[in-house]
Amino acid sequence: MQITMTVNGAEVTRQVEDRMLLVHFLRDVLGLTGTHWGCDTSNCGTCVVWLDGEPVKSCTVLAAMAGGHEVRTVEGLADGAELDPVQKGFMQCHGLQCGFCTPGMMMTARALLDRNPDPTEQEIREAISGQICRCTGYATIVRSVRWAAVNS
Amino acid sequence: MTTTAHRVEPENNDHKPLGHGRMLRKEDPRFVRGRGRYVDDVQLPGMLHLAILRSPVAHARIVSIDVTAAQASPGVRAVVTGEALGEQGLAWMPTLSGDVQAVLATDKVRFQGQEVAFVVADDRYAARDALELIDVEYDMLDPVIDARTALAPEAPVIRDDLDGKSDNHCFDWETGDAEATERVFAAADVVVSQDIVYPRVHPAPMETCGAVADFDPVEGKLRLWSTTQAPHAHRTLYAMVAGLPEHKIQVISPDIGGGFGNKVPIYPGYVCAIVGSIVTGKPVKWMEDRSENLISTGFARDYVMRGEIAATRDGKILAIRTNVLADHGAFNGTAAPVKYPAGFFGVFTGSYDLQAAYCKMTAVYTNKAPGGVAYACSFRITEAVYLVERIVDCLAYRLEMDPAQLRLKNLLRPEQFPYTTRTGWVYDSGNYEPTMRLAMEIAGYEELRREQAEKRERGELMGIGIAFFTEAVGAGPRKDMDILGLGMADGCELRVHPTGKAVVRLSVQTQGQGHETTFAQIVAEEIGIPPDDIDVLHGDTDNTPFGLGTYGSRSTPVSGAAAALVARKVRDKARIIASGMLEVSVADLEWRKGAFHVKGDPGRSVTIQDVAMRAHGAGDLPDGIEGGLEAQICYNPSNLTYPHGAYICVVDVDPGTAQVKVRRFIAVDDCGTRINPMIIEGQVHGGLTDGVGMALMEMIAFDPDGNCLGASLMDYLIPTALEVPDWETGFTVTPSPHHPIGAKGVGESATVGSPPAIVNAVVDALKPFGVSHADMPLTPSRVWDAMRGAARPPI
């Protein structure tokens, strides 16, 4: 089937199989490989992108379901050359190591801060609780999001 | 020996050190933009996709495989079975332990999830479709699931592929002095014995294993992008398996989404991708899904141990003895140095001065996936430290002594180093008491004990657990340590460009540990070129020096030493060139970071950048000096490094639900010289989270038919941000005397040290119930059972 959606502000139209997952559409069809695929049971959250401003696990959305909607990925997080405060916060506070969970974590963090510009540590932990990180032990991710809140 | 103690507070990371110190990571700018390049990001023209058909059962003969329908499926380019591979001599491959492992099953399947056939198709969806169309007829055999029954006379023989094999015995191993240990035990006031299980768990890196193989028949060259922690060792193994010469194999390990030991072994999927590319003449990508990763790739632990400790009545520890049953799965795929089939389990004597020690181990085959050494174990030190720290707590329980005081009474003293253990390990350095005291100070230990006493009065369950560990990392001296004949040395190459920028090439391979940053810092510290001017390359076997890769926390001990020494080698040459430039003798030069100064004439100096330009440029060089400014070395460590740490965990247990909450965790680590404190802190945080997972949540279990019960993230539970506390860390500094910059490894310390601290805390919380031991994972149901006096082993 043919689908049209807006990805990071640009309209894209492609022919896809009905069953194609959004994560594979973004990665394999559009070449936006910042979004990752870490599990097959929708637990890990490495594939989190925005669908009409809401963080979703793109492994659990069909590409066809995103047709007519607006998708934002990690590649669309920076405003041109200027990094989002969340991206700066992850670098400043060592909120990433291997970098595999990072795009999903940052998309969730940005969505949190858009709704709650001054979240507590517990609110941050709850916001990212649908996402697994194997490297950081989360404390520096929490600090990264706090840094972004303070420096926004 | 001087040891200084520090408590870590979050700091501003903004400044740029000219060498060691807190420094932001050079890796991050690409990762935060989604511009990392991991294996599944690799797209090549004409690339096909490979999917693997896996066994649904644990043990069965293969009667027949019908691939007719799969071959006719749309988009399918090839379907390959074990029989077809066998005709090329590729159905079996060597493991890192010198055993063999089936690439695709030929005669029978030996674990659920084992590779049976593969499909190459135009895209990943078509490849998966075709798997459904392969018809395999199995003749079921009884499986061996419980290691404790594997050697029973009636147990079915799993490895009937091995000549004359009539049982499931894998190997025996022992260390220490059995008779001397027996004598000490016989004379001891107190002997405590405890059965202790370290259950099977899985490293589960967020990125699973995968590869892109691209065989060019014209060049006769194979390029392989793969998730490997040891690209050079893999290249050599592929040469041995596939018969391709090494100079025609280029292994590229790009950005790796975490390894944790999972990406050390060679998996059948890699070999299938290579075969798939050779068969189709196209690049072929294989990327496993999470279930495949959990069910078929290298597990960790699975040691069933009996620990025994002998002591005097007043708490002087005299001897430790242990008997271990090791479950290695269907093929012995353990990644360990050849002479160490049980890894470095011999360090089970821990941080204590014993009169005697002895271990006897038997390893067996079972119908489970191969593995054993993974998940930050430092070659079985997780198991060794868990055993000793748990059994010391059992002794404290028996003697009714405070576990902190018992440890303080028995810790090795600084004047005993270098210390040779009763099992022959030579600990390089250690000053243990200040480390322990600092952890107790950060924790407010005495206050915690008072709080606990008050809570016990009220019926609340609070536990305080301690672990003091000594690690052994940095394998290792080539006279003793090799993997399949490859000595465990590591290379490093440094080239300084004409304008004073530099490139360092490593034989090790980061999977998130920050090597691109810290190796630039090591070189910067030695040669005075700012870290930002130094690029660190790794993971490409055509363009990096040979070495054994990153695991066992060996990067800093081995490759880090190589980086420091190669920088000194370049600096020595630079000094001669500088002497020519300044027209003084070498002895008249003084090195201050970044420049050579004429002694007594501070106005006359040349920077390392000036020297680099002279080395490449116009003007004569001193006699006998070649142009250019570069060097390469291969470092053979004289010993391992032995970092240590003191960990204290505070838990609350809900008496109604038996849910354990880790309220605080204090970790004080000593890894000698600290190259980048920010990165060490992150390594420690990650390892502590592993510990929470293993102690409380994670387990790869099996039902009696051999069905894997932990084969997805629905069942294999990994801590999220809600299950872990904000970590409290501190450090002491006791340098390694034999390491060029005094640095020890540290990456695995927290994974090694934290599980016993957490379990000790939970058992401490359950003391009012008379509980003296409970096995991991301490899930609510298992804690509930323990509270009711019905604790059971997890397998």
Tens digits of per-residue pLDDT, B550-579?
A: 999 999 999 999 999 999 999 999 999 999
Question: Which range is least confidently modeled, B284-288, B332-336, B440-444?
Answer: B332-336
Asked if the model's pLDDT at residue B15 lies above 70, the reply is no
Omega before residue B17 within 30° of 0, cis? no
User: What strands, in cross-sheet order, belong to the sheet with A48-51?
Assistant: A10-15, A2-7, A70-72, A48-51, A54-57
Averaged pLDDT for residues B176-185: 98
Residue B2 is predicted with a pLDDT of 47
Q: How many CB pairs under 8 A join A and B?
A: 183
Averaged pLDDT for residues B697-717: 97
Measured between CB atoms, which of B14, B41, B685 is closest to A33? B41
Give residue B173's identity as a one-letter amino acid code: W
What is the nearest CA distance from B628 to chain A, expressed in angstroms?
35
* Closest B-chain CA to A29: B43
Asked if the model's pLDDT at residue B28 lies above 90, the reply is yes
Averaged pLDDT for residues B185-202: 98
* Beta-carbon separation of B686 and A135 below 8 A: yes
A chain contacts of residue B720, beta-carbon cutoff 8 Å: 128-132, 138
- The 10s digit of each residue's pLDDT in B57-108 is 999 999 999 999 999 999 999 999 999 999 999 999 999 898 999 999 999 9
Asked if the model's pLDDT at residue B764 lies above 70, the reply is yes
Question: Which range is least confidently modeled, B9-13, B268-272, B301-305, B437-441?
Answer: B9-13
Q: Which of residues 667-686 of B touch A (CB under 8 A)?
A: 678-679, 681-686
* Beta-carbon separation of A87 and B33 below 8 A: yes
* Beta-carbon separation of A90 and B28 below 8 A: yes
Averaged pLDDT for residues B697-720: 97
- The 10s digit of each residue's pLDDT in A57-99 is 999 999 999 999 999 999 999 988 999 999 999 999 999 999 9
Residue B1 is predicted with a pLDDT of 43
* Beta-carbon separation of B713 and A35 below 8 A: no
Averaged pLDDT for residues B132-150: 98
Let me know: does B522 contact B675? Beta carbons within 8 Å.
yes
- Radius of gyration for the alpha carbons in chain A, expressed in angstroms and rounded: 15
* Beta-carbon separation of B722 and A125 below 8 A: yes
DSSP alpha helix (H) spans, B88-176: 124-131
Give the best residue of B129, B229, B256, B720 to mutate against chain A (max A CB count within 10 A).
B720
For B741, the enclosing helix (H) or strand (E) is: none
Asked if the model's pLDDT at residue B196 lies above 90, the reply is yes
From CA B97, how far away is CA B413, in angstroms rounded? 37
Q: Around Cβ B600, how many Cβ atoms within 10 Å? A: 8
* Beta-carbon separation of A100 and B35 below 8 A: no
Residue B3 is predicted with a pLDDT of 56
Residue B241 is predicted with a pLDDT of 84
Residue B13 is predicted with a pLDDT of 59
B561-582 vs B515-527: helix crossing angle, rounded to 10? 30
From CA B756, how far away is CA B466, in angstroms rounded? 7
The 3-state secondary structure of B599-611 reads CCEEEEEEEHHHH
- The 10s digit of each residue's pLDDT in B368-425 is 999 999 999 999 999 999 999 999 999 999 999 999 999 999 999 999 999 999 999 9
Measured between CB atoms, which of A19, A93, A103 is closest to B34? A103
pTM for the whole thing?
0.97
Measured between CB atoms, which of B36, B258, B289 is closest to A135? B258
Give the best residue of B30, B206, B679, B714 to mutate against chain A (max A CB count within 10 A).
B206
Asked if the model's pLDDT at residue B249 lies above 50, the reply is yes
For B49, the enclosing helix (H) or strand (E) is: strand B48-54
Q: Which of residues 373-432 of B touch A (CB under 8 A)?
A: none
Q: Is B500 left (phi over 0), alpha (psi -120 to 50) or beta?
A: left
What is the nearest CA distance from B92 to chain A, expressed in angstroms?
29
Residue B386 is predicted with a pLDDT of 98
What is the nearest CA distance from A144 to chain B, expressed in angstroms?
11
pLDDT in tens, chain A (152 residues): 999 999 999 999 999 999 999 999 999 999 999 999 999 999 999 999 999 999 999 999 999 999 999 999 999 999 889 999 999 999 999 999 999 999 999 999 999 999 999 999 999 999 999 999 999 999 999 999 999 999 99
**Burial code of B549-576, b = ≥16 C-beta within 10 A, e = fewer?**
bbbbbbbbbbbbbbbbbbbbbbbebbeb
Closest by Cα among B539, B458, B608, B464 to B259: B539
What is the nearest CA distance from A44 to chain B, expressed in angstroms?
8
Q: What is the DSSP string of B36-100?
A: --BGGG---TT-EEEEEEE-SSSSEEEEEEE-HHHHTSTTEEEEEEHHHHHHTT-SEEE-TTS-E
B chain contacts of residue A97, beta-carbon cutoff 8 Å: 258, 512-514, 682-683, 686
A chain contacts of residue B206, beta-carbon cutoff 8 Å: 36, 38, 44, 46, 98, 100-101, 132-134
